[in-house]
Amino acid sequence: MSSGDAPGTLVPTVVKPSRAAGARSFAAWRVTGADERTLRSVDIRSHIKDVATRYDVPENLVAAIVEIESRFNPRAVSPRGAQGLMQLMPATAATLGVGDPFDPRGNIEGGVRHLRSLMDRFDNNLPLVLAAYNAGEHAVIAHRGVPPYRQTRQYVKRILRQLDRDGAKTSDTGQRGRKV
């Protein structure tokens, strides 16, 4: 923040994503001062609500995925190369038409569309949907259920625990039959 920028002022900035393959710097606006992170989070949550409603995906599910995947950091990059809020792999982002996976709006839009397609494919079976989001739908199909990958099983448990913590209503049928 320069000396002339009062807190709460919109100022131009250049966002430089990490050195992930294909990552580009881009111009953006940011709000100066202590409320910058809060305003960004509010904007992200508002967009999550809008997109989740449009695709008929539970808002708390999308928020839980964003929290676990990226901690609401739009510039997050995983060790395997997944990018942005919903940690889209570059090939998945390209398939979904997400031009810039570091753009919060585009990333959420693509991630929720992907989530919706997995919900349709796996009949809203939440553990299978989450496993497919994490490990890929082919792994879920090949293993006829949640794959035996430790990281994927932990991921499914973390998201389900986050949903329970957030007050999501679940049935007592256990994880296998849990529906969204």
Cβ atoms of residues 59 and 52 within 8 Å: yes
69 catalytic, yes or no?
Answer: yes
Beta strands in the chain (DSSP E): 10-15, 26-31
Residue 111 sits at the vertex; the CA angle it makes with 109 and 113, to the nearest 5 degrees, is 70
Active-site pick, 36, 59, 67, 69: 69
Amino acid at 166: D
Residue 168's CB is within 10 A of a number of other CB atoms, namely: 16
Would you name the residues annotated as active-site residues? 69
